[in-house]
Structure 1
Amino acid sequence: MRFDPWNPDFVANPYGVYAELRQQAPVTFFEPTGQWLIARHADVNALLRDRRLGRSYLHVATHEEFGKEAEPEFQEPFWRVVRAGMLDVEPPVHTRLRRLVSRAFTPRMVESLRPRVRAIAGGLVDAFVEQGGGDLIAEVAEPLPVTVIAEMLGIPDADRPLLRPWSADICGMYELNPAPEAQHTAVRAASEFAGYLKELARERAARPGDDLISALAQIDELTLDELVGTCVLLLNAGHEATVNVTGNGWWSLFRNPAELARLREDRGLLPSAIEELMRWDTPLQMFERWVLEDIEVGGVVIPRGVEVALLFGSANRDQEVFVDPDRLDVGRADNPHISFGAGIHFCLGAPLARIELIESFGALMDRAPKLELVREPVWKPGYVIRGLESLDVRVA
Structure 2
Amino acid sequence: MRFDPWNPDFVAHPYPVYDELRRERPVSYYEPTDQWLVSRHADVNALLRDRRLGRSYLHVATHEEFGRQPEPEFQEPFWRVIRAGMLDVEPPVHTRLRRLVSKAFTPRMVESLRPRVRAIAGGLADTFVEKGGGDLLAEVAEPLPVTVIAEMLGIPEADRHLLRPWSADICGMYELNPGIEAQHTAVRAASEFAGYLRDLARVRRAAPGDDLVSALAQIPELTEDELIGTCVLLLNAGHEATVNVTGNGWWSLFRNPEELARLRADRSLLPTAVEELLRWDTPLQLFERWVLEDIEVHGVEIPRGAEVALLFGSANRDPEAFEDPDRLDVGRADNPHISFGAGIHFCLGAPLARIELMESFGALLDRTVSLELREEPSWKPGYIIRGLEALHLTATPA
User: What residue in structure 1 maps to residue 339 of structure 2?
Assistant: 339
Alignment of 1:313-352 (within 5 A): 313-352=313-352
| Aligned match of 2:216 | 216
Q: Distance in 1 between matches of 2:288 and 2:383?
A: 13
Following superposition, which runs of at least 4 residues in structure 1 exceed 4 angstroms of deviation?
Answer: none
> 2:8 corresponds to which residue?
8
Aligned to 1:259: 259
Unaligned runs of 5+ in 2: none
SS class of match (2:393): strand
Partner Cα distance (1:285, 1:115) in 2: 31
Partner of 1:94: 94
Map of 2:124 onto structure 1: 124
Measured in 2, the distance between the counterparts of 1:165 and 1:239 equals: 12
2:162 alignment partner, SS class:
helix
The match for 1:50 is: 50
Q: Give the whole-Å Cα distance in 1 for the aligned partners of 2:298 and 2:55.
A: 21
What does 1:151-162 align with in structure 2 at a 5 Å threshold?
151-162=151-162
Tell me the alpha carbon deviations over residues 233-291 of structure 1, each in whole angstroms, 9 at most, x when there is no partner.
00000001100000000000000000000000000000000000010001000000000
Which secondary structure does the structure 1 equivalent of 2:325 belong to? Answer: coil
**Deviation string for 1:149-195 (max 9, x for gaps)?**
00000000000000000000000000000010000000000000000
Structure 1 counterpart of 2:297: 297
In 2, the alpha carbon distance for the partners of 1:248 and 1:369 equals: 21
Task: Tell me the SS of whatever aligns to 1:263.
Answer: helix
Measured in 2, the distance between the counterparts of 1:142 and 1:369 equals 23
Deviation per residue, 1:66-90 (Å, 9 max, x gap):
0111000000000000000000000
**Residue in 1 aligned with 2:79?**
79
Distance in 1 separating the partners of 2:395 and 2:383 = 30
Deviations 1:199-230 (A, max 9, x none): 00000000000000000000000000000000
After superposition, the C-alpha distances for 1:339-379 in whole angstroms (9 at most, x for unaligned) are 00000000000000000000000000000230111100010
> Normalising by structure 1, what TM-score?
1.00
Q: Indicate the percent of aligned positions where both proteins have the same amino acid.
A: 84
Q: CA deviation at 1:38?
A: 0.2
Output the amino acid matched with 2:366: D
> Aligned partners of 2:170, 2:63: CA distance in 1, in Å?
22
Residues 83-124 of structure 1: CA deviation (Å, up to 9, x unaligned): 000000000000000000000100000000000000000000
> Is residue 182 of structure 2 the alignment partner of residue 182 of structure 1?
yes
Q: Displacement of 1:333 after TM fit?
A: 0.4
Taking only aligned residues, the RMSD between alpha carbons, in angstroms, comes to: 0.4
Give 1:63 shift: 0.4
Mapped to 2, the partners of 1:366 and 1:211 lie a distance apart of 31
Q: Could you tell me which amino acid in structure 1 is paired with residue 141 of structure 2?
A: A
SS of the residue 1:88 aligns to: coil
Q: In structure 2, give the amino acid aligned to 1:296.
A: E
For residues 368 and 199 of structure 1, the distance between their equivalents in structure 2, rounded to whole angstroms, comes to 43
Matching of residues 247-396 of structure 1 within 5 Å:
247-396=247-396
Write the distance in 2 (CA, Å) between the matches of 1:389 and 1:344. Answer: 32
SS in 1 for 2:296: strand
Distance 2:359 2:278 in 1: 15
Which amino acid in structure 2 is aligned with residue 342 of structure 1? A
Look up the equivalent residue of 1:354 and give its one-letter code: R
Q: Hey, what's the Cα distance between the residues in 1 that align with 2:170 and 2:288?
A: 17
* Structure-2 separation of matches of 1:368 and 1:77: 46
Whole-Å separation in 2 of the counterparts to 1:131 and 1:94: 46
Which whole-Å deviations, capped at 9, do the CAs of 1:299-328 have from their partners, x for residues lacking one?
A: 111000010000000000000010000000
Q: Deviations over 1:18-39 (max 9, x none)?
A: 0000000000000000000000
- The secondary structure found in structure 2 opposite 1:380 is coil
AA in 2 matched with 1:201: A
Aligned length: 396
Give the AA of the match of 1:369: V
The letter of the residue matching 1:391 is: L
